[in-house]
Structure 1
Amino acid sequence: MTAPSPPAGYRPPERFRYSSAFLALASLVAFVVSVVGFGALLWFLQGTPEGGSVSFGFAGVVAVFLVCLATLVVHEAIHGLVFRWLGYRVSFGFAPHVPALYTAAFGQFVTRRDNLLTGVAPLVVITAVAVPLLAAPLPVASVAYLVLLVNTSGAVGDVYMSWRLWRLPPETLFYDVDIEHSYAFEPANDTAIGAE
């Protein structure tokens, strides 16, 4: 797939790619850090648990799966709501080669600012809602803890993209042809300070 012609005043596009191996490793690191960090906060807020062992049968496994799936769906829905609020047409889907759910504004030029806002929104919103719930009664706090683990490790691609975007000129435009073909258009009369 090819990118469209550059808008007036922009350089030819450059392919915008993610390193799958790096993101997988970073996601694992984020998960471990989240387990420890949010776990310590949960322990601080809830105190030492009383009683014996916790039984975790088939119903518990199903509940964990549903919470994880719901977290991923809400994460993508937040991306979509921000894109729509900013005036873009939104596509949702599943990329089996990653594997991951995705939200995109295919076939449209998206500003750097709008991509940054859309990218960080789920991490900010879900964290802001779930962290205070760690102080709620333990069943609610346990769900909030799981939501934080899934959302934080799942937001690694968003954080990586935001870091890359931040290093480009503010006027940079992005264009997603499909889930595997993304392009960046930098302004012709500007230089990317600190860009790669």
Structure 2
Amino acid sequence: MEKRLIEEINLLENKKLLMNLNITAVIMVFVLLILGCVFSGEFEILIGFQGIAWVCLGYLVALVIHEGVHGVFFKVFQPKGKVKFGFKKGMAYATSSGSFYTKLQFFVVSIAPFVVLTALLIFLRFLGVNEVVLYLIFALHTSGCVGDFYYCILLMNHPAGILVEDTEKGINFYSKG
């Protein structure tokens, strides 16, 4: 099957795009923190050293799980594809460079970590884990998903029937034929 490149998204080398995504992430975390303060009478931003340590540890674990979920879904949809994990330009990433996915498959790959981690945090709340710590991890993780949300928006704005190639720098969109 012949593929024709429609658009190349070079996330790692596009300084303007990276800056805009980082600004969006910072705004997102502040909005979520403000909403947490407004809608919870007992919400306190200053949760002490121990709480901050738990938030940092929780966020690091969430980051590892986040990238692991990307990796799992890359493999689910392309079992022969090789998954690589790394850290570049201040961003952790999972990639299956050179693998092709349908629009729906790549949407699932992109949004799955947000869905899985949010569900896990809700589950932990029901187990009695401190809701302030969980909410702060949620706010940090959600803001960290901004690149994934960006990919989802791009996917929604492309026609059905496209193929998406994962690359080490971003993604490429192809038309079939």
* TM-score bracket for this pair, using the shorter chain length: 0.7 to 0.9
Task: Describe the SS at the equivalent of 1:117.
Answer: helix
1:11 counterpart residue number: 4
Question: Number of matched residues?
Answer: 171
Task: Tell me the secondary structure at the aligned position of residue 30 of structure 1.
Answer: helix
- Give the secondary-structure state (helix, strand or coil) at the position aligned to 1:11: strand
Structure 1 counterpart of 2:135: 145
Partner of 1:163: 153
1:187 and 2:176 matched: yes
Equivalent of 1:111 in 93, 102, 115: 102
CA distance in 2, matches of 1:12, 1:63: 45
Q: What is the CA distance between 1:119 and its match in structure 2?
A: 0.7
Scaled by the length of structure 1, what TM-score is found?
Answer: 0.73
Within 1, Cα distance between the matches of 2:19 and 2:125? 32
Which AA in structure 1 matches 2:152?
S
Question: Per-residue deviation at 1:143?
Answer: 2.7
What 5-or-longer segments of structure 1 have no aligned partner? 1-6, 189-196
The residue that corresponds to 1:48 in the other structure is 42
Root mean square deviation, CA, Å = 2.8
Q: Does structure 1 conserve the Cα–Cα contact (< 8 Å) formed by 2:55 and 2:137?
A: no
* RCO higher in structure (CA 8 A, sep ≥6): 2
Counterpart amino acid of 1:165?
L
1:26-175 pair list within 5 angstroms: 26-41=24-39, 43=40, 47-48=41-42, 56-57=48-49, 60-88=51-79, 89-97=81-89, 99-131=90-122, 133-134=124-125, 137=128, 139-175=129-165
| 8 Å contact kept, 1:79–1:122 | yes
The residue type equivalent to 1:78 in the other structure is V
CA distance 1:48–1:147, change in 2 (3 Å) = closer
CA distance in 1, matches of 2:53, 2:120: 23
Q: Deviations over 1:88-118 (max 9, x none)?
A: 4342322332x11111111211221111011
Specify the code of the residue in structure 1 equivalent to 2:146: V
Kindly, what percent of the aligned residue pairs are identical? 24
How far the C-alpha of 1:62 sits from its partner, in A, is: 3.8
User: What is aligned with 2:14?
Assistant: none
Alpha-carbon offset, residue 187 of structure 1: 3.3
Aligned equivalents of 2:47 and 2:149: distance in 1? 36
Larger Rg: 1
Q: What TM-score, normalized to structure 2?
A: 0.80
- What is the Cα deviation at residue 56 of structure 1? 2.8
Gap runs ≥5 in structure 2: 12-16
User: Which protein is richer in helix relative to its size?
Assistant: 2
Alignment CA distance shift 1:40-1:127 (3 Å): farther
1:168: how far off? 0.8
The structure whose residues are more often strand, as a share, is: 2
Which residue does the alignment assign to 1:193?
none
Structure-2 residue corresponding to 1:194: none
